[in-house]
Chains A and B, each alone.
Chain A
């Protein structure tokens, strides 16, 4: 160990001399021992070292952050790790896509109602007080009818970016674990 140079977290954990050119030292400072501990537990120090060596120096910081994130995810969800989080987020994207398509269908519905030569409200749609219900069924057109006319662009522009079939990895616990991971990981990424 060089004089005045305290060992990094990895060399402290591995109980070895921390060289001046230690590959871990810039990314695993001695005041954050837990960071290296979890990465070492999941990936192993030698694997992490190999991964860092294959990257440019300016990429290593981000790589370490992503490894810490993945290791955290794996510790919280030993079976699915990050894949559980991906599955959960993809379901959220699908739900939002559906809501967006429904909202667009509703706009079309309203617009059709507002057309001058369009659909006059039927007597059955009128209320008792003579007030017309605004658009529960678009005077004979259901929201589902309109939905079928919504362009495929509305559904496809938020496409899944991976075609790997990971829906099978969704767990009932992944919601709780993903919320915890969100809170923690905001401090990991600078």
Chain B
């Protein structure tokens, strides 16, 4: 009876990693805080691409307060790799670059339209005043749209 009790206690306190490897989970197990036994999927995902020993090395090289973030980012990348075995999360980065390129070109087009409308409006309504003076008038307000675009990935 006591033996079964002891086994139950060991089983229930093992982290997901030690449960996976069917080994005793020591009190200072480096994985235990980040791979609880109620989420075995997290470790199996990460282990599939990085391997337990690599994960342990990465954890050891990071300050304790950042280890949870490390594990979550590894889990995210592993999940992306499962969904897209060829490109993983690099596919997402490429897609975001494309979105940024599209948005930048749309913004440039829209700002050009604004310039044309501005110029037409000033010419239509103030024929006697110089264009430069009218533009100086309108520059009293900072529209925040004149920042240069940074060059992107490609």
Contact = CB atoms under 8 A, between A and B. Distances in A.
A54 interface: yes
Interface residues of B, number: 63
Interface string A91-110: 01100110110111011001
A26 interface: no
A85 B117 contact: no
A102 to B, nearest CB: 7
Interface stretch (A1-9, A16-24, A58-66): A58-66
Contacts of B69: 79-80, 168-169
A62 B86 contact: yes
B73 A103 contact: no
Contacts, number: 167
B54 interface: yes
Given A55-B85, A99-B107, A131-B126, A83 B51 contact: no
A38 interface: no
A21 B75 CA distance: 32
A182 B153 contact: yes
Contact of B122 (A82, A86, A134): A134
A67 B86 CA distance: 9
A2 B61 CA distance: 40
Interface string A108-130: 00110110000000000001010
Contact of A70 (B77, B110, B113, B140): B77
Given A79-B73, A99-B145, A131-B126, A186 B154 contact: yes
Interface residues of A, number: 60
A93 B114 CA distance: 21
Nearest to A66: B90
A131 B95 CA distance: 47
Contact of B104 (A54, A96, A166): A96
B127 to A, nearest CB: 12
Interface string B66-80: 100110111011010
Given A47-B50, A66-B90, 17 more contacts: A55-B86, A66-B87, A81-B74, A82-B73, A83-B89, A85-B93, A86-B92, A86-B93, A86-B96, A89-B100, A100-B106, A106-B143, A110-B118, A114-B124, A132-B126, A134-B122, A169-B69
22 contacts: A43-B51, A44-B54, A59-B85, A62-B86, A63-B85, A69-B90, A70-B90, A78-B61, A78-B70, A79-B69, A82-B93, A83-B89, A96-B103, A96-B107, A102-B143, A114-B124, A131-B129, A132-B125, A134-B118, A134-B135, A136-B140, A164-B79
Interface of A: 42-44, 46-47, 51, 54-55, 59, 62-63, 65-67, 69-70, 78-86, 89-90, 92-93, 96-97, 99-100, 102-104, 106-107, 110-111, 113-114, 127, 129, 131-136, 158, 161-162, 164, 166, 168-169, 182, 185-186
